[in-house]
Structure formats: structure tokens, C-alpha cells
Structure 1
Amino acid sequence: MNSTEHLTQTERDELLKNLNEKQKMFVQNYLKRGRKTVFANLLAKEKAGSVEENQIEDVASQWELLDYIDAGPDWQTRSELHCECGRPLRYQYIVHNKGTGEIRKFGIKHFEEHTGIPPQLVKDIVKGIEKIDFEMDEILLKNAQGWTLVHAGIETIPAAIDIPKDIQQHFDAGVPLLDRQVQRLRERIADYLREEKRKQLEAQKAEQEQAAQKKRELVSQRRHAVAEKMGAAISHEIPLDQHLQLGVLVYLDLLRTSQFSANDVCEDLIKNHGASQETYSSGRLLIFPKVCMYLEFLVSRGKLELVEKQGVEDRIYRIINLAMDDIEAGEEEQHSQQRLFDL
């Protein structure tokens, strides 16, 4: 709905006919509540801001709006509502003077005349009441157009969201939401989804950390077993630290597939065995050449097979046989392997 689109009284009366009884009751109560709120808030504001105008403050604080009555479309022929001046009314405002107990009934144009409320404050009250009428126009037009939340781009509302009371009242009465309520609902949904995403990410992070911790514990346990079982595969001549060589063997022992990459081995050494994350200016890990050298050592012993060289970026290997009983690495042979290794 265009926020500047306002209905004539005749148009309002026609659209009101489209409402069921529950919706009509809601609109009537909405208008009454809105007018009472406007009246009370503006008088309270005037009272708070009238420090030097005691007379105005006294007048403004004396009155309260008791009721607002609509005589209906045929008010000109059947209305029983009248202003203090005797004029028949469509809309009658009933106000109460808290000081004297006096009750007055009049139309919107006679606020100042019958209450003594200052002219500017009366204008503000009328303006506030008009705003309530314009919001009713929005409700009536949306209802006539078959408006739903889908038209506002809201497909579903998460069940866990705490829906504000005024919005829930619209839902309960089957009445379209106002644009300002739609915006508030969108913001609440967005806040909820952001919070849920944050919780999800935190849960994933915690789950990943838990999995990583279990992996570290498993790796720690396997290091001892692998050291006893595959100790012969540790070379004293290859420039990869021996505890990292053992880490490579643990990685291979725990691997669930036969094929792997040299980069995968490097990442595992960093995560689980304390290897350095330092890199060359190219971005390649410093440990990569040494890891490849050790893997080639295992290839020369028939434990691995080189499947593919991917330039200087990576190498793919396949496990052939990790049994270590036949490994006898002579010092001279290891020196030769080291010289032949070329990245």
C-alpha cells in the first residue's frame, strides 16, 4: 500500500463491509485504543514540557478520553450521538475531567472549545488521531487486496520466535499487518536467524575441536605402537625430523584409503605432530620437500608407489605394503636416494 493513499469516509464504510465480525470488532477496538493512547501520550508530553506554563499543564492533566463511538454510515438520519453544542455526530469523543468528575461528549472539532485544551495541543491530538485513521485505511485496503505475509516476502515465521503482542493480535483476528509491523517482524526474524547461525557455527566449531582432540589422542596412542612396529622405517639420513617421520608413518597407519597426497601428509603433520607452518615466498610449505624425500624413501623400499607428480605443487602416492620387517636402509643407499631426489 502507498503510505500516502488515504480513503474517504465513504470508501472506508464500503471496505468495512468486507470484514467479518471478528475483524470488525478488532478494527473498532484498535481505533478506540489508538485514540486513547494518542490522547493520553500527548497530554502527558504536554504536562512534562510545560514547566513555565502551569495553567496549561493543569488543564492538560485534568482530562482523559473515556470512549470513542462511531454512529455508522447512516449517522445523518439515525445518529443518536450529539456534540455538546447539539450538532449530530458520526464520531463522538467522550472525555472525563478527573478534577471535577465532569463528562463531556463532542466531535473532533470541538476539543478546544469544550475542554480548554490549548490550540496547538488540540492540533497535535487531531494529527495523531488522523494517523490512526490512516493505519485503518492500510488495514482495510490490504484486506480487500487479499494481502498475506507472502506479499511482504515472509514465507514462514520460525516457531521459536517470540511474536510481539500487537502483531499476534492481528494474527488472531485475521487482520493484515501494518507496514511498520511487517518491518519489525522482518527485523525480529533476521535477528533470530543470525543468532541461530551463530549458535550453529559455534556448535560446528566445538564439534570440530572435539573431533580434532580425539584425533590427537588417537595419534598419540598410535605413535607408540607405530614406533615399535615400524621403527625400521625411520631414516637417520633424510633431513625430515625423526619425530615427523614417525608422524608420517602414523598418518599412513590410520589412513582409510590407499591413495593420498604429499600435501595431505604435510597438513596432518602440522595439525597432529607439531610441524612448522612456515612457507616459501611461493606459499609452499617448508616441510614439503623433506616430506616428499621421506615418501620417496618409502617408495624405494616398496612400501609406497608414486602415482602422479603434479608439477612442484603436489605428489600423489599409493600404499603398497606397510609391513616393515624387510626394511634395511643402508647408509650409502640412503645418501644416493637423497642425491637423486629433485624437486
Structure 2
Amino acid sequence: MATHAKSSKVSLTKERRQETWHNLTSEQQAVLKQHIRYQHTSLFVDQNLIGHGSTWQFVAYNYNDNYDANTGPQLYCDCGRRLRHQYVLQNQDGTLIKLGITHFADHIGIPEAVMRQLQTKIHHLDFGLDELLQRIRRHAGLNSEMRQWFIDNHTAYPDFPVDAIDFVAHSLPLEKDVQAEIVRQYKKATYTPKPRQPRRKKPKLNKAAWQELFRDI
């Protein structure tokens, strides 16, 4: 019988997610919200997911960081449902509507199969955020020397994600593979080979010394 590997996805409880989020500084929260907004916006502007013939166009994404607490300012679908992820659409007349993923799919006119694909991708992004928050809880970011090195030298590494510098500058951990590559580049850039010590030659015994060594044998 086939066996399935255990999922490595991280899913925090509502309480831990809320606690971790509110322990961040306002600057750290702003960096994470911008990161989340970029991920969702990138997902929804993909022309393979949004029909060309739709009268509604995706124009904005908003993240509700008070969703788990259920206190403070909230985001809602136009139907009245409270949302974690809010998607804003606009038609040709300039009318704006604010929706959750289900009503978004209805208005944008995408097939049900594509909607399920969207929901899967959104869940994947949510798991990614939980993993990031878990790494924050474990203080899994770069040490101070590596952070300062990357801040000073990040322009020399354009292949890193554009928001990597914001994460590092605000002492936030990056995705594991990105952070591992920064560590590798840091070690490569700061490696100093130890000076080679000349090998000391063993003194050779002359004939008299050999005779003295074996004199009593």
C-alpha cells in the first residue's frame, strides 16, 4: 500500500497568529502587509486567471490583520461577510465592489475549476505566512553581522527578492531558501583563508649524533 509523506506545512492557531502579529513593531507589520499585498496582487493580475472578456477588473487587495482578533477595524465583503482577504474590483463605469474570493470568482466570470485553483493558491500563501510567523517566533532571522553585511551590500545581489532588504533591515526572517543563500554569499564574501605556516624541517642527525644515540645499545 502506498504511503504518503507527512505534510510539512505550518498552520498556527488563531491565538498564536494573533499573538505573534501584535508582538511585531508597526514597521515590521507594514513590511509584512506589503509582502502579502504583493503576493496576492501578483496572483490576481495573472492573465491566465482573470478572463479577458470580464467587465470587472481587479484593482486592489487588502489584508485584514485584525481578522483573528475580531476587534478593531475590519474588512467586509459587499454581502456583509467579514474577510481576511479582500479583493477590490472596478467596472468600466468606475464602480468599485469589495469581495471575498467566492464572490470575486462570481463577478470576474472565471470557471469553477479556476476558482478552486485560486483558492488553493490563496491557501498556499496563507500557509506561507504562518510559516513566516513561526520563524519569527523562533527568532530564525540572520544574526546582526549578517544583517549589516546584507544591508551594506544588497545592491550587489539583484537576484534576491525585491523586498529582501526590507525584511533584513527590520530584523525579519526570510524564506528558508532565500536566507540560506544570503548566508552562503556572506560566508563567501567574508571568508579569509588562514595564512599557511611553513613546515619546519626535522633536523638531521650527523654521524657523531647517531653514534652517541646508539652508544649504549
* Structure 1 residue matching 2:82: 3-state secondary structure: coil
What do you get for the CA RMSD once the two structures are aligned?
A: 3.5
Q: 1:160 to 1:138 in 2, by over 3 A?
A: same
Pick the structure with more helix per residue.
1
The aligned runs of 1:64-143 (5 Å cut-off) are 64-70=58-64, 72=66, 73-75=68-70, 81-97=75-91, 99-143=92-136
For residue 27 of structure 1, what is the aligned residue in structure 2?
Answer: 32
How far apart are 1:46 and its partner, in Å? 4.2
User: Please, which runs of 5 or more residues in structure 1 have no aligned partner?
Assistant: 48-55, 198-306, 309-343
How far apart are 1:160 and its partner, in Å? 5.2
Q: 1:111 to 1:8 in 2, by over 3 A?
A: farther
Length-normalised TM-score, structure 2? 0.66
How far apart are 1:133 and its partner, in Å? 1.9
Q: 1:123 to 1:36 in 2, by over 3 A?
A: same
Length-normalised TM-score, structure 1? 0.44
Q: Higher Cα Rg: structure 1 or 2?
A: 1
- Contact 1:16–1:24 (8 Å) recurs in 2: yes
**Residue 36 (structure 1) aligned to one of 41, 45, 68:** 41
Amino acid at match of 1:35: H
Give, in whole Å, the separation in 2 of the partners of 1:100 and 1:10.
42
**Residue 173 (structure 2) aligned to one of 169, 172, 176:** 176
Q: 1:156 to 1:125 in 2, by over 3 A?
A: same
Aligned: 1:167 with 2:164:
yes
Give, in whole Å, the separation in 2 of the partners of 1:107 and 1:160.
41
How far apart are 1:182 and its partner, in Å? 1.9
Give, in whole Å, the separation in 1 of the partners of 2:173 and 2:83.
29
Amino acid at match of 1:123: R
- Contact 1:36–1:66 (8 Å) recurs in 2: yes
Higher normalized contact order (CA 8 Å, seq sep 6+, divided by chain length):
2
How far apart are 1:107 and its partner, in Å? 1.7
How far apart are 1:166 and its partner, in Å? 2.3
Give, in whole Å, the separation in 2 of the partners of 1:156 and 1:74.
35
Please list every run of at least 4 consecutive aligned residues from structure 1 whose deviation after the TM superposition is greater than 6 angstroms: none
Aligned: 1:58 with 2:61:
no
Give, in whole Å, the separation in 2 of the partners of 1:39 and 1:118.
15
Calculate percent identity across the aligned residue pairs.
22
Amino acid at match of 1:96: Q
Give, in whole Å, the separation in 1 of the partners of 2:82 and 2:149.
47
